[in-house]
A and B are shown apart, each in its own frame.
Chain A
Amino acid sequence: MTGPLRRRLPAAGGVLGALRARSELGVCALLLGVGALVLTDALTMDSVASTRGPVGPRTVPVVVGTALLVVAVALAVDVLRGGRGDAEGGEDVDLDEPGDWRTVALLVGVLLAFAALIEPLGFPLAGALLFWGAAFALGSRQHALGRDPLIAAALSLVTYTVFNTLLGVPLPGGPLTEVL
């Protein structure tokens, strides 16, 4: 079944172009990988744990893992036959432009930095950095040194107060609040 399809792929783009046109196969690979992981985890479970009732802790993971493998193959067949999942639209989404993956990578970096800094720096500072960094990554350059840090600091401090006093969920204050 893949024979005639392969001929239809653009020759000029070579392997890379062909892969890009079929990048949805990456989703199949992911599903396949997760399925294998779920199955391995289920089958290597030590059965020492007492099994209450006829259905043990293994059954459902085995079913889900197998289903993942089946769906991965079914999706791959669909993609190779020319099926395509439509990218999701939205009010602020412009699908005519190619994906701006640099911005996404920057945002991922900002979130990781937040996770790393929240305990050493405390929430008010790390949160402000998160908002400022995300706004910068998303293209707010004009006010990056003026208005943006002020908004970030205000948002972060208000959130810190609301969580600590109103909701009773303590966020780390960090060295800044210890000084005050």
Chain B
Amino acid sequence: MGSFGSLLDGFGTALSPLNLMWAALGVLLGTAIGVLPGIGPAMAVALLLPVTYGLDPTAAFIMFAGIYYGGMFGGSTTSILLNTPGESAAVIAAIEGNPMAKSGRGSQALAAAAIGHFAGGMIGTVLLVLLAPTVAKLAVDIGAPDYFAIMVLAFVAVTSVLGASRVRGFASLLIGLTLGLVGLDQMTGQQRLTFGSLQLADGIDVVIVAVGLFAIGEALWVAAHLRRGSGTAVPVGRPWLGRAELRRTWKPWLRGPLIGFPFGAIPAGGAEIPTFLSYVTEKRLSRHRKEFGKGAIEGVAGPESAASASAAGTLVAMLTLGLPTTAVAAVMLAAFQQYGIQPGPLLFEREPDLVWGLIASLFIGMVMLLVLNLPLAPVWARLLRIPRPYLYAGILFFAAVGAYAVGGEPVDVVILLLIGLVGLMMRRYGLPVLPAIIGAILGPAAEQQLRRALQISDGSLTGLVNTPFSVTVYGVMALLLAWPLLRRLRR
């Protein structure tokens, strides 16, 4: 059992006092960020990208993963108590969780959500341990055409699976690709879109793009529509579950990961679709179908478990193929780039300490999160009382610091602001943000792989489809693109 031995080594890395501290810091920050409105895990990781200048990669990724999982735990607390979910993945938790809280069963809803996240995260991470090395081994000798195919798949998937409008998805992707073009061409040194400026010759740092789109764009958008006198949270006691509830929740907890994990691993937008599917499944299977919509505990337990498992699935795609399927994964990929590490099949061979330390820390972080959230959820809910001006002023503050820290140039703050205004416009007119960030991060890499592949084939376009792997990927892509047409035909 190669991966079991590696996992044990990983626990050795993750259990060092310093890394334990980073994991604890990550889950604390993650839970706080999940509870806080208006700030999601993707924005949080983006704002923390400057730590990559001072931390070693293992510590940074252990912290980022803690934020990712912690954000999910905390997010459901807000949905259940406040009924205004900010993240799409937490929408489902509000449907059943908030009626439960209003009818005095908030503690049960919080417990069902927290244990659901724990179960989903644990099962998902076990699947990650079992599957990731196999996927990496299968993909280990993929070449330039295959990488290019995967990246194009990511572009197609984020634009056509997510969101209501494909045109708007593509517009967003192209904005991202344009941002990625700025700077010196990696292969020839030719200046592109620099307008003779030395500052732009280095390209626009991904930190500035990510922070601008996620943090500045979001803060400005909220500022334009700030809710005066925000809703009050339903007061609750300590989360707990009685025997009758346990009987109703254990099956949804175990079913959730089966739906969540595969959906996390494919580029279908992370937790949004699997939480919905899990909800529908639980509704169909439940013996208390009439309670759905009025506070059925199965409708909290299943989707929350699916959400955390999908996060583990996301990590499979990111670590083994370098394919980001969610916004958080995209920003984590940017962090890998900051370190000059290329996630992909070779990662498991080249950086075993990092990968297995990260995976082991997921198990540890999950236990920490359960301990933090099960008894302390009411304490976390107090964070909701933070005055909104401080919250959004703080986001702008850290965003500006991060942009300045990239190169010590005040002009970077101005570029950050411009990208933030683009992010504001995108939110105003319903352009999804995820395609832009994936375009900016993957665009330059995709171009390089394309040119490398065509160099090998001496310019012949067949060089892009001469491996079984790339043909398969293009087949999947064709299916994705044809899906809405097929559905229309059937009607």
Which of B181-189, B240-248, B263-271, B342-350 lies at the interface?
B181-189
Q: In the assembled complex, which residues on chain A have CB atoms less than 8 Å from the CB atom of B413?
A: 111, 114-115, 118
Of A41, A84, A118, the residue contacting B410 (CB under 8 A) is A118
Most chain A beta-carbon contacts within 10 A, residue among B416, B421, B431: B431
Q: In the assembled complex, which residues on chain A have CB atoms less than 8 Å from the CB atom of B424?
A: 104
Most chain A beta-carbon contacts within 10 A, residue among B82, B230, B427, B429: B429
Structural contact, A30 and B425, CB atoms closer than 8 A? yes
For the complex, give the distance between the alpha carbons of A172 and B424 in Å.
30
Which of A1-9, A11-19, A68-76 lies at the interface?
A68-76
For the complex, give the distance between the alpha carbons of A63 and B220 in Å.
32
Which of B107-115, B317-325, B383-391, B477-485 lies at the interface?
B383-391
Q: Chain A 44-68, CB within 8 Å of chain B: the 1/0 string?
A: 0100011111111100110010011
Residue B38 at the A interface, CB < 8 A? yes
A16 shortest CB reach to chain B, Å: 19
Q: In the assembled complex, which residues on chain A have CB atoms less than 8 Å from the CB atom of B421?
A: 108
B94 shortest CB reach to chain A, Å: 10
Q: Chain B 390-414, CB within 8 Å of chain A: the 1/0 string?
A: 1011101110110011001011011
Structural contact, A97 and B225, CB atoms closer than 8 A? yes
A106 shortest CB reach to chain B, Å: 9
Main secondary structure of the interface of A (DSSP, over half): helix
Q: In the assembled complex, which residues on chain A have CB atoms less than 8 Å from the CB atom of B388?
A: 92, 138-139
Structural contact, A34 and B86, CB atoms closer than 8 A? no
Residue B235 at the A interface, CB < 8 A? no
Residue A112 at the B interface, CB < 8 A? yes
For the complex, give the distance between the alpha carbons of A95 and B226 in Å.
9
Structural contact, A87 and B188, CB atoms closer than 8 A? no
Structural contact, B171 and A140, CB atoms closer than 8 A? no
Which of B7-15, B161-169, B303-311, B373-381 lies at the interface?
B161-169
Residue B190 at the A interface, CB < 8 A? yes
Q: In the assembled complex, which residues on chain A have CB atoms less than 8 Å from the CB atom of B398?
A: 159
Q: In the assembled complex, which residues on chain B have CB atoms less than 8 Å from the CB atom of A97?
A: 225
Structural contact, B430 and A88, CB atoms closer than 8 A? yes
Of A57, A93, A111, the residue contacting B188 (CB under 8 A) is A57
Of B37, B164, B170, B429, the residue contacting A71 (CB under 8 A) is B170
Q: In the assembled complex, which residues on chain B have CB atoms less than 8 Å from the CB atom of A103?
A: 223-224, 226
Structural contact, B53 and A131, CB atoms closer than 8 A? no
Structural contact, A163 and B405, CB atoms closer than 8 A? yes
Structural contact, B405 and A169, CB atoms closer than 8 A? yes
Structural contact, B427 and A87, CB atoms closer than 8 A? yes
Q: In the assembled complex, which residues on chain B have CB atoms less than 8 Å from the CB atom of A108?
A: 220, 417, 421
- Given the known interface contacts A41-B193, A99-B224, A103-B224, the answer about A52 and B389 at a Cβ–Cβ threshold of 8 Å is no
Residue A176 at the B interface, CB < 8 A? no
Q: Chain A 95-138, CB within 8 Å of chain B: the 1/0 string?
A: 10101110110011011101110110001000100111011111
For the complex, give the distance between the alpha carbons of A140 and B416 in Å.
24
For the complex, give the distance between the alpha carbons of A84 and B189 in Å.
41
Q: In the assembled complex, which residues on chain A have CB atoms less than 8 Å from the CB atom of B431?
A: 27, 85
Q: In the assembled complex, which residues on chain A have CB atoms less than 8 Å from the CB atom of B175?
A: 31, 34
Query: Could you write out 25 A-B pairs with CB less than 8 Å apart?
Result: A34-B175, A42-B192, A49-B190, A53-B454, A55-B459, A60-B181, A88-B430, A90-B86, A91-B38, A91-B78, A91-B84, A94-B228, A95-B225, A103-B223, A111-B400, A111-B416, A127-B400, A131-B397, A134-B392, A139-B389, A140-B390, A140-B393, A155-B394, A155-B397, A172-B408
Chain A residues with a Cβ under 8 A of chain B = 24, 27, 30-31, 34, 37-38, 41-42, 45, 49-57, 60-61, 64, 67-68, 71-72, 74-75, 78, 83-88, 90-95, 97, 99-101, 103-104, 107-108, 110-112, 114-116, 118-119, 123, 127, 130-132, 134-140, 151, 155-156, 159, 163, 166-172
Chain B residues with a Cβ under 8 A of chain A = 37-38, 50-51, 53-55, 78, 82, 84-86, 164-165, 167-168, 170-171, 174-175, 177-178, 181, 185, 187-193, 216, 218-228, 230, 387-390, 392-394, 396-398, 400-401, 404-405, 408, 410-411, 413-414, 416-417, 421, 424-425, 427-431, 447, 450-452, 454-455, 458-459
3 A-B pairs with the lowest CB-CB distances in the bound complex, closest first = A85-B430, A54-B459, A91-B37
